[in-house]
């Protein structure tokens, strides 16, 4: 007796409308996962903390740039340039005191540099050269030997070399053209480190991680991430800005290896609700967690526009009259009466909040005043910082 196989519909038998719905569902799920991953973007600990003790140091020095093509300091207008030039020449065995110096190929400059952490003696660092007097340009100049001092007054590097200037200034009696800043330049690898800053990282038994943006929640998340990874309570959040890491005895002497492993861990930094306003430029930056309670907003300005259109009155022919100018003044006053009260709903997201404020037809300047007024009314659930 023959057996029949049960009939199974082929995949091609699925209706087209059903396939479209399945595809749309899969796409929606993918977008949801992608959006969630983007909203909760993780950052490496390396990118949000600094290791206390591992820091750069600022250096500064005073020197002379020579070889300028008539664009240096005027000796009469920059007495410090003349004194520095006389002192430099005396150290070279040339006495010019009492002489009337008229060179304009020399410029007094301030030399600045940053000494990175763990920079060894003999290494080279970049320096920045900036004019101190009334020089027009440092183009083509050469910086003479200049000691660079630290905050303790000790010499940590010595700079010298040709100054690289990105700007220029040219012109004549009727017009001048200036591009960039010709009175400042750089000398790549222009200073040699003469003194090291002593700091032994391998001798540390505790390492303090300093958060660049202090926050209680972020500090706690860093602590938990480190303790989960190491399997021991090595990390402790001391305050919103510091997480202390204890170096285990098994890794004594290998602090670099421990830091390398820790700084690659990822966490999701928390961000306080904050609105930053720069009144000088009209820039407004809002954090993701900014919320506003339900408020009604009305905005109107008093605008007075005065236009002067004087007219000339000509006398008639053979009237022996004189030509006079007749003033014509037009005054327009706009009190903003046409603008209505708008309601901003509470609990909006950042995008909805921006759209609601833009819907009122206001610009960045007026928006700054509105945000300040909303904050004064107690309806802005965020910290308002005015720069």
pLDDT of residue 310: 73
d(C-alpha 383, C-alpha 218), whole Å: 18
* pLDDT (0 to 100) of residue 33: 37
- The neighbour count for residue 330, using CB atoms within 10 Å, is 9
- What does the pLDDT average to over 220-233? 91
| Of residues 340, 346, 352, the one with CA closest to residue 374 | 346
Tell me the range of 213-222, 253-262, 272-281, 315-324 where mean pLDDT is highest: 213-222
* pLDDT of 36: 40
pLDDT of 22 higher than 50: no
Distance from the Cα of residue 12 to its chain's centroid: 58
Of the pLDDT bands very low, low, confident and very high (cuts 50, 70, 90), residue 185 is very high
Average pLDDT, stretch 270-284?
Answer: 81
User: What distance in Å separates the CA atoms of residue 266 and residue 272, rounded to the nearest whole number?
Assistant: 19
Neighbours of 58 (CB within 10 A): 12
218/385 Cα distance (integer angstroms): 21
pLDDT of amino acid 5:
45
User: What's the mean pLDDT when you consider all of the chain?
Assistant: 78
Range among 191-200, 306-315, 342-351 with highest mean pLDDT value: 191-200
C-alpha–C-alpha distance, residues 88 and 30, integer Å: 72
53-62, 90-99, 131-140, 267-276 — which is least confidently predicted? 90-99
Q: What is the pLDDT of residues 320-370, one digit of tens each?
A: 667 777 777 665 655 555 555 455 555 666 567 667 667 766 667 777 777
Q: Residue 368: helix, strand or coil by DSSP?
A: helix
Residue 88 near residue 146, CB atoms below 8 Å: no
Q: What is the pTM of this model?
A: 0.64
Coil vs helix vs strand at 169: strand
The pLDDT tens digits for 39-63 are 457 889 999 999 887 888 999 999 9
| Band (382; pLDDT cuts 50, 70, 90) | confident
Q: Which secondary-structure segment (H or E) carries 297? A: strand 295-297
Best-predicted range by mean pLDDT (80-89, 153-162, 314-323) = 153-162
Query: How far is the C-alpha of 269 from the C-alpha of 97, rounded, in Å?
Result: 64
| DSSP reduced 3-state for 366 | helix
Q: What's the CA gap between 156 and 175, in Å, rounded?
A: 44
To 5 degrees, how large is the angle CA 289–CA 294–CA 299? Answer: 100
Cβ atoms 234, 227 nearer than 8 A: yes
Higher pLDDT, 73 or 321: 73
Contact 132, 109 (CB under 8 A): yes
> Domains of the chain: which residue ranges?
57-167+180-193, 201-267, 274-312+325-386
Q: pLDDT tens, 79-115?
A: 888 888 888 888 888 887 767 777 889 999 999 999 9
pLDDT at 366: 75
Q: Are 107 and 65 spatial neighbours (Cβ–Cβ below 8 Å)?
A: yes
Question: Is residue 178 classed as helix, strand or coil in its secondary structure?
Answer: strand
């Amino acid at each position: 007796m023959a057996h029949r196989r049960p009939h199974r519909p082929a995949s091609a038998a699925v209706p087209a409308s059903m396939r479209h719905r399945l595809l749309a569902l899969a796409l929606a799920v993918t977008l949801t996962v992608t959006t969630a991953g983007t909203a909760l973007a993780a950052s490496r600990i390396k990118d949000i903390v600094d290791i206390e003790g591992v820091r750069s140091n600022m250096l500064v020095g005073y020197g002379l740039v020579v070889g300028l093509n008539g664009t240096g300091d005027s000796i009469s207008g920059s007495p410090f340039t003349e004194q520095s030039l006389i002192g430099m020449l005396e150290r070279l065995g040339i006495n010019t005191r009492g002489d009337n110096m008229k060179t304009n190929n020399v410029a007094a400059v301030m030399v600045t540099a940053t000494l990175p952490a763990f920079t060894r003696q003999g290494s080279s660092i970049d320096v920045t050269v900036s004019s101190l007097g009334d020089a027009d340009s440092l183009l083509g100049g050469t910086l003479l030997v200049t000691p660079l001092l630290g905050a303790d007054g000790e010499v940590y590097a010595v700079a010298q070399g040709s100054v690289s200037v990105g700007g220029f200034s040219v012109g004549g009696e009727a017009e001048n053209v200036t591009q960039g800043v010709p009175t400042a330049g750089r000398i790549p690898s222009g200073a040699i480190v003469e003194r090291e800053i002593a700091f032994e990282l391998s001798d540390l038994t505790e390492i303090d991680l300093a958060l660049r943006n202090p926050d209680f929640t972020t500090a706690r998340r860093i602590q938990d991430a480190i303790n989960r990874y190491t399997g021991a309570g090595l990390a402790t959040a001391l305050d919103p800005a510091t997480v202390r890491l204890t170096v285990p005895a098994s890794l004594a002497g290998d602090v670099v290896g421990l830091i390398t492993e820790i700084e690659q861990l990822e966490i999701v930094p928390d961000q306080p609700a904050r609105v930053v306003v720069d009144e000088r430029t009209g820039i407004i930056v809002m954090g993701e967690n900014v919320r506003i309670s339900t408020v009604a907003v009305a905005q109107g300005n008093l605008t007075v526009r005065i236009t002067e259109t004087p007219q000339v009155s000509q006398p008639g022919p053979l009237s022996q009259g004189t030509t006079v100018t007749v003033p014509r003044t037009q005054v327009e006053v706009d009190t903003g009466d046409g603008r209505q009260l708008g309601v901003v709903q509470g609990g909006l997201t950042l995008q909805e909040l921006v759209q609601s404020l833009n819907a009122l037809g206001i610009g960045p300047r007026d928006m700054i005043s509105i945000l300040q007024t909303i904050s004064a009314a107690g309806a802005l659930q965020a910290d308002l910082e005015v720069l």
